[in-house]
Amino acid sequence: MVIGAAGGSKITTSVAQIIVKHLWYGIDLKRAMDEARVHHQLMPNVLVVEDNFKIEYEKLLHQIEKIGHNIEFKYPADGFCAVTSISHVNRGNVVGVPDIRRKTGGVGYV
């Protein structure tokens, strides 16, 4: 797997979330890239969450607020980094996935 991103402090958390979902949990690369992301960098004490994350994890977010964390909801294309990933799939085929959060594309040559 090869993964790269642009987007400042959110690069590490975005890349880590995609790697864990794809390699550890076996989620399809496109789905892992498209799923909602979260980001927390300790200071300030704010958990930044994509809008579509709150739909699935509303109870969890409420519990996080109860223990004192502030939560900020953002539209996916507003403030989260752009990631591009390439990974092997069955029978040695390679798949590349650009991020839906940015108007980008990709060109590949093998």
- In the annotated binding site, the residues are 8
CA 67 to chain centre: 24
Residues annotated within a binding site for L-glutamate: 8
Cα separation, 58 vs 12, whole angstroms: 24
Considering only CA atoms, which of 48, 51, 100, 39 is closest in space to residue 75?
A: 51
Strand-by-strand arrangement of the 2-6 sheet: 2-6, 82-88, 94-98
